[in-house]
Amino acid sequence: MTIEPLSSKNRPQQLEASRVGKFAIALVILFAIVAFSITRSVTVTQSLSPVSNLVMLRASARQALPLETAMTNGKPTLIEFYADWCTTCQAMAPALNSVHQQFDSALNRVMLNIDDPQWRHQVQQFNVTGVPHLALLRGDGAIAETFVGKVPKSILLGRLQELLGNL
């Protein structure tokens, strides 16, 4: 095999190959920049979300109705058993707040932190084996439905509408 020196007959092919190579590199760089910018905004939003959801979870717990009041006012009640460390509880906080706002006047919302020893009896009474644990109670205090784990908002809304429609 012999190496030919650069000649005028090979130069156009080499220039074309160089242009194609540069174009391919530019295309790859552009794709990388676009992919990075798209995924960066999603990553930043997701990384901030657990902190804001924990804040929302704690704020909801402070604003929730006391258990004794909910059990005596005759309205249906949503009891949410949760824990601050539970990432699913944190992730569901915005949806549960939205549900509560939608049914605010017709539904009690009670939040019981399973790590608080004062709720040990209720944890046993409602057979809480995991969090989040949602118990929907009729106005008379009877359990209408129980959900454990992540519950799609649409399912919870449908069940609450059925429960409230039966009043």
pLDDT for the residue numbered 83: 97
Tens-place pLDDT, residues 12-27: 666 676 777 777 787 7
* Least confident window among 38-47, 64-73, 76-85: 38-47
Looking up tokens 């979870």 gives 57
Dihedral of CA 111/113/116/120: which sign? positive
Tens-place pLDDT, residues 56-79: 999 999 999 999 999 999 999 999
Does the model's pTM come out above 0.85? no
Looking up tokens 């059990």 gives 71
Which are the catalytic amino acids?
A: 86, 89
Distance of CA 53 to the CA centre of its chain: 8
CATH superfamily name and code, 54-165:
Glutaredoxin (3.40.30.10)
110: part of which helix (H) or strand (E)? strand 108-113
Which of these, 101, 102, 103, 96, lies nearest to 81 by C-alpha position? 96
High-pLDDT (> 90) share of the chain, %: 65
**Helix axes of 87-102 and 11-63: crossing angle, nearest 10 degrees:** 70
pLDDT for the residue numbered 45: 41
Cβ neighbours of residue 34 closer than 8 Å, sequence gap 6 or more: none
Tokens (6 digits) for 38: 């798209």
Calculate Rg over the CA atoms of the chain: 29
